[in-house]
Structure 1
């Protein structure tokens, strides 16, 4: 009876490790998606917003690697390996929850930071390529409006071509009437929510794996005590 129950738990732990591998792939894919989407705006908004995405990728690679460790422990019914695997899952669970919660909390702090970073990047004139991409993609000009470009030393009413809604240049340019701040802010917030959702969602799933590992470890320990 005990042997049958332990075999069942072992099979379930194996099945979870397959799921665990998929979680690792999911974390890598989700982190890469956010990282790729934010990459074109790094000179404008800085790299701190993509740091959580990089963290998810690293965590995903780590999870992918230790799934094999969990399978090995379950196959050999090694108490030490199984409990070490459970301990690692707990640590990863905490990391994922921390990343997810931080993402949701940080989302509400984006507004002021994005605005300051955008204004600074216009003033120093070092992110023109990124600004061209933002203005073309979101059909906007400047942070709040076209006059923001006058702060970087350009002539009055002379804006980048990407600002021009009619394709004009210089004095003949008719700039987009809306600034890029609102659009870019919402874009970044959406990506942060993705990070938060992935972190919390996968962390909850991992609770199942922790329970399976602990149950199998307990069953193995009881068997050794009987012997």
Structure 2
């Protein structure tokens, strides 16, 4: 009876580890996407918002390795491997909860950081190729112009860029030809959405891991009892 129950838990743990492998790959891919996307705006923000993406990649790699470790422990029915897997899974669980909370806290800081960084680069549009390229990408991708509106360019003695144009041909002095909404709000909303998704996925997956931890503990206990019987 005990042996049958142990095999059932072992196979369930093995299935959950396969899910962890897939989830780990998914987290790595999501983290890489966010990191690559934000690197496009490195000239504006440097590494200010790189943390969430990097954290996802690190957690994904750890979960992928732990899942492999857990599979070995389950297949070999090794008490030490299985218990160690449960302990490390618990540590990752705590890190994911902390990362999720940190992500939501970061959302509150985004608005001030984005506004100040964008305003600081307006006047350098013509003097820095990197900033010019990043502004053009931002305005084209988010269909916006300036920080709060298109007049920000003239206020900084810079001619309104062609990337503000809605379509070609375009006269940047004609309001109907250019985007009038500012980039700050649009980029902040996008960034907050990414952070919210990362935080939500991290916290959600962390709670799924509780099931894996319980299965690992149950299997370790069953293995120990079998050793004691022998």
Specify if TM > 0.5: yes
Q: How does 1:5-16 map to 2 (within 5 A)?
A: 5-16=5-16
2:148 to 128, 144, 168: 144
The reply to whether residue 186 of structure 1 matches residue 189 of structure 2 is yes
Aligned to 1:29: 29
The reply to whether residue 133 of structure 1 matches residue 134 of structure 2 is no
SS in 2 for 1:142: coil
Aligned to 1:198: 201
**2-side partners of 1:54 and 1:121: how far apart?**
26
What is the deviation of 1:34?
A: 2.1
Contact kept, 8 Å, 1:122 with 1:151, in 2: the verdict is no
TM-score calculated relative to the size of structure 2: 0.88
SS in 2 for 1:178: coil
Contact kept, 8 Å, 1:10 with 1:216, in 2: the verdict is yes
Q: How does 1:2-81 map to 2 (within 5 A)?
A: 2-81=2-81
What is the deviation of 1:168?
A: 3.7
Bigger mean CA deviation after superposition, 58-67 or 119-128: 119-128
Q: For structure 1, which runs of at least 5 residues remain unmatched after alignment?
A: none
Aligned to 2:224: 221
What is the deviation of 1:182?
A: 0.9
What is the deviation of 1:137?
A: 2.1
**1-side partners of 2:5 and 2:166: how far apart?**
69
| Deviation per residue, 1:26-68 (Å, 9 max, x gap) | 2112212322333322322332223211211122122212212
What is the deviation of 1:69?
A: 1.1
**2-side partners of 1:187 and 1:171: how far apart?**
28
Contact kept, 8 Å, 1:70 with 1:81, in 2: the verdict is yes
Q: How large is the RMSD of aligned CA atoms in angstroms?
A: 2.1
SS in 1 for 2:190: helix
Q: For structure 2, which runs of at least 5 residues remain unmatched after alignment?
A: none
The reply to whether residue 163 of structure 1 matches residue 167 of structure 2 is no
Contact kept, 8 Å, 2:24 with 2:61, in 1: the verdict is yes
What is the deviation of 1:152?
A: 5.2
SS in 1 for 2:120: helix
